[in-house]
Structure 1
Amino acid sequence: MATQHNITTTLPLKTGASIPQFGFGTCASATCTQSALWALQHGYIHLDTAQIYKNEAETGEAIAQSNFSHDKIFVCSKLWEDMYSRQGALDGVESSLKKLGLKTIDLYLLHTPRPGPKARLEAWLGLQDAVEKGWVKTIGVSNWAPRHIEQLMKQDGVKIMPAVNQIEFHPWQQHRELVKYCKEKGIVVVAYSPLTQGRRLGDATITAIAEKYGRTPAQVVLRWCLQQGVVIIPKSDKENRIVENQGIFDWELKSEDVEAINALDEGQKGNVGEWDPYAHE
């Protein structure tokens, strides 16, 4: 596995665009503007937000304060399920644009499959309309199982296949079949909660490997994720952690250590309730 060279390394998307493989998540951020601004100041170029996070405006304020032009930054947001209709999706994108202070959004996702097949289709058609209007560059999904994607692609009017599927992904929740499916279809997997919100970083396997490499447990987990070929969007509201999390580009895990981390997978145990892609029709 080739070493990831820097924080701006990208993966290609089906649209011909690309997505930075390392980003910054803002979910449940208590200090979103300051945290996102720190991330940008420390070299991050990919910001992830969503309507339901209620911090699109704060994310946009961080971009404005950074003085970076939008063409230097990749921004993702997501449509919440209470707007899953064709017009609702357009209205949602327009609202996101205003809050973010942007003219176009790089990536826009349907946040869950939960509202069901008809609502998913209508919302997807609305996102396609947003692409045609130039409001959004690339569209995708989040927390979707293969059957949701297959079902969508069979519907009349669907012209664009999802370019991204954002899912919970970390050593204890590897979603192997879902990741395999996405890679076969050319769909980029974006890993949210790659650090398990810190809950599993004391794992004996992870801490032993961290000691071996002279790295932190968080860096080991993030490095493992990169070597799985997924995009990762760790979050933190602490500047030192934001800096620590990007210390993963000038080294790599050896195959035996990758295999040891692979063995930590707990199948679907790590994902419960509303965020389980397989729990919804």
Structure 2
Amino acid sequence: MPANPSLTSTLPLNNNTSIPQFGFGTCASATCTQSALWALQHGYIHLDTAQIYKNEAETGEAIAKSQLPHDKIFVCSKLWEDMYTRQGAIDGVEGSLKKLGLKQIDLYLIHNPRPGPKARHESWLGLQDCVEKGWVKSIGVSNWAPKHIEQLMKEDGVKILPAVNQVEFHPWQQQRELMGYCKEKGIVVVAYSPLTQGKRLGDKVIVQMAEKHGRTPAQIVLRWCLQKGVVVIPKSDKEGRIVENKGIFDWELKGEDVEVIDGLDEGMKGNVGEWDPYAYE
């Protein structure tokens, strides 16, 4: 984590580019264009979307309405499993570019490991092709276990190590094995559902910590994530919450507070979404 992190602080990626450590998620957004526009207007510079979210066009509309140049915004999208072939990946990226209204996407991910080794390999080759074409700056994966990355890197034609692995991460699901592996390999972890979709913010430990620091439970959880060195992409369709979520940069959790929150880990039992990276071959 940068020494004095801010809303625009970045973490280095393994291909000499970087990723803003704080972003805005659009999954299941009911008002994507307006919500993403609010985020950009309030200083967010990192937007996360995906083919399966069916809101790439709405995300692109928000970027256009913001009137911010693309070089001031970091955009991530993801390939869905119905396009896991080499040509499918190329077509998928081209489609995302058109919907987003961009000439280049900063980060493009394979959304999940489910279709198996052959499909993952072929789609990765397609994403490498897109890097060579200049359509994508960085490529990575989502919901992948270490075994999937190890398997991919042994395949013919694979030249690029994933830059990021986007997974569910929060105090109740700390992904410790995966975190250790990614740190060793220089792969940045991006935390989706960092606020557990709101399901665990009433936890008494978090509530007490919030009262202690004069912060909200969401701010406590996001600050803890930030201090763990991950990228966080909280999502909200409420402008007030979008503003609240960014209020994590002028203070910090001390060591003893971090240790208390560390103790909340439930392993994979803490999963609030549908993905267990270890469940797929």
Fold-level similarity (TM above 0.5): yes
Q: Is the 8 A contact 2:45 2:74 kept in 1?
A: yes
Give the Cα separation in 1 of the matches to 2:4 and 2:251.
8
SS in structure 2 at match of 1:235: coil
- CA deviation after TM superposition for structure 1 residue 4, in Å: 4.0
- 2:192 is aligned to 192
SS in structure 1 at match of 2:77: strand
- 2:77 is aligned to 77
TM-score (norm 2): 0.98
Letter in 2 for 1:51: Q
- CA deviation after TM superposition for structure 1 residue 272, in Å: 7.2
- CA deviation after TM superposition for structure 1 residue 121, in Å: 0.1
SS in structure 2 at match of 1:241: helix
- 1:157 is aligned to 157
Give the Cα separation in 2 of the matches to 1:118 and 1:48.
26
- 1:27 is aligned to 27
SS in structure 1 at match of 2:36: helix
SS in structure 1 at match of 2:19: strand
Q: Is the 8 A contact 2:142 2:166 kept in 1?
A: yes
Q: Is the 8 A contact 1:3 1:251 kept in 2?
A: no
> Which 10-residue stretch deviates more, 243-252 or 263-272?
263-272
1:115 aligns with 2:115: yes
* Alpha-carbon RMSD: 1.1
Q: Is the 8 A contact 2:22 2:233 kept in 1?
A: yes
- 2:44 is aligned to 44
Give the Cα separation in 2 of the matches to 1:18 and 1:184.
18
Q: Is the 8 A contact 1:9 1:22 kept in 2?
A: yes
Residue pairs, 1:185-224, within 5 angstroms: 185-224=185-224
- 1:258 is aligned to 258
- 2:280 is aligned to 280
Residue pairs, 1:141-152, within 5 angstroms: 141-152=141-152
Unpaired runs of 5+ residues, structure 1, are none
Give the Cα separation in 2 of the matches to 1:151 and 1:255.
37
TM-score (norm 1): 0.98
Structure 1 residues 2, 102: CA separation in 2 closer, same or farther (over 3 Å shift)?
Answer: closer
Unpaired runs of 5+ residues, structure 2, are none
Give the Cα separation in 1 of the matches to 2:54 and 2:94.
15
- 1:246 is aligned to 246
1:135 aligns with 2:140: no
- CA-to-partner distance for each residue in 1:127-176, whole Å, 9 max, x for gaps? 00000000000000000000000000001100000000000000000000
Give the Cα separation in 1 of the matches to 2:239 and 2:3.
25
Q: Is the 8 A contact 2:26 2:49 kept in 1?
A: yes
- CA deviation after TM superposition for structure 1 residue 6, in Å: 1.1
Q: Is the 8 A contact 2:104 2:135 kept in 1?
A: yes
